[in-house]
Amino acid sequence: MKGTTIALDHWQGREAAALIVDGQLEDLLIDTDLPRPGTIYRGIADRPVKGQGGMFLRTPDGNAFLRQVKGLKPGQPLLVQVTGYAELGKAIPVTQRILFKSRYAIVTPGAPGINVSRRIKDDDAREMVKEAAHEGMAEVPLPEDAGLILRSCCADATPEDITEDVIAMCQLATAVLSDAGSEAEILSEGDGPHAQAWREWTDPAHVASEEHSFEHHDVLDMIDAALQAHVPLPGGYSMIIEPTSALVAVDINTGGDTSFSAGLKANLAALKDLPRQLRLRGLGGQIIVDPAPCPKKERKQLEGSLRAALKRESTETILAGWTQLGLMEIQRKRDRVALKTLRKNKG
């Protein structure tokens, strides 16, 4: 099936959104019982952790951890934003670098200036976007010392939509930043999967929000495939993806291909699909890839293939290098809860 579809539905009782491109599941967002990334708290400084250069904070959702703090005293209130999901038994990760992010506009406290995405190259389009933003800011000004980023999808938006988005973000930022409370409180809830899909999946797409849309678009079968360790690849190759408590292990296999170039072809096919597989499965942290047999001279080509596949990733992912045993080391930010964990938690 050609084209792009965004399916909005629920999976095992959780709000969920699926991005399907040419019949293949490209991304999957599923709600959790944990604080959502993007949530803004008024946190209360609790106790410093000198060895880690951070501070534990009290929030309505439990302890949070803030890195690189200076001059912060216990009992002091401060605004922080959730940056990801907490690992089991650990505090909620937060930052003081707050962003108010929507589909077309991002308000950036502490970083003044109006910036238009470099992806909008047409001068007339850039001027239209700026004028629409200034019209919004004329109605609701930016908070003091705050800036505005106008995202690339503004190029395909109407001036009215941009203006409306800028007004909404300026209103939210002004309300949160002017807060003068002193107790731990949630000031702004992070977006759920449906709102996040609208915000981040901005390419032209058919939106399917009818009841049972996941079933109608075969999303349930594609989720089941993402829950399996075995990943079939074009050419008869495969890889096995198995998360452990310490790392994610990826094993690439040539299958029945015994040709001289089997190892290279299997590795290229696997590394091209690996970022998508990690994204769908909600996997991050340390990732160790055991490639199919390949000589050292092919490593540069494999690195280039992986880096090309990572260009479209919004999640920070770093190729750290190779071990002495010939394993690839990858570090990926934990910004989602593992798909298997969500299934287990729902029984």
Q: Using one digit for the tens of pLDDT, what is the confidence trace for 28-77? A: 999 999 999 999 999 999 988 877 778 999 999 999 999 878 778 899 99
Q: Is the pLDDT of residue 347 over 50?
A: no
Mind listing the pLDDT tens digit for each residue in 285-328? Answer: 999 999 999 999 999 999 999 999 999 898 999 999 999 999 99
Q: Quote the pLDDT of residue 345.
A: 65
Distance from C-alpha of 156 to C-alpha of 158, rounded to nearest angstrom: 7
Mind listing the pLDDT tens digit for each residue in 6-23? Answer: 999 999 999 999 999 999
Between 192 and 1, where is the model more confident?
A: 192
Please compute, for residue 96, the number of CA atoms within 13 A of its CA located in the half-sphere on the CB side: 15
The mean predicted confidence, pLDDT, of the chain is 94
Average pLDDT over residues 116-140: 96
Mind listing the pLDDT tens digit for each residue in 186-220? Answer: 999 999 999 999 999 999 999 999 999 999 999 99
Residue 209 has a CB neighbour count (10 Å cut-off) of: 11
Q: Is the pLDDT of residue 2 over 90?
A: no
Q: Give the tokens for residue 320.
A: 């750290």
Percent of the chain with pLDDT over 70: 98
Average pLDDT over residues 228-250: 95
Between 281 and 51, where is the model more confident?
A: 281
Q: Quote the pLDDT of residue 245.
A: 87
Average pLDDT over residues 180-190: 94
Longest dimension (CA), the chain: 69
Q: What is the DSSP string of 135-197?
A: HHHHHSPPPTTEEEEE-GGGGGS-HHHHHHHHHHHHHHHHHHHT----S-EEEEPPP-HHHHH
Site of tokens 């996941």: 214
Q: Quote the pLDDT of residue 346.
A: 55
Q: Quote the pLDDT of residue 89.
A: 81
Q: Quote the pLDDT of residue 256.
A: 86
Q: Quote the pLDDT of residue 86.
A: 83
Q: Quote the pLDDT of residue 317.
A: 95
Average pLDDT over residues 121-125: 95
Q: Give the tokens for residue 189.
A: 């809830």
Q: What is the distance, to the nearest Å, from the Cα of residue 143 to the centroid of all Cα atoms in its chain?
A: 27
pLDDT band at 344 (very low <50, low <70, confident <90, very high): low
- Phi first, then psi, for residue 294 (nearest 5°) are -155, 145
Q: Quote the pLDDT of residue 254.
A: 94
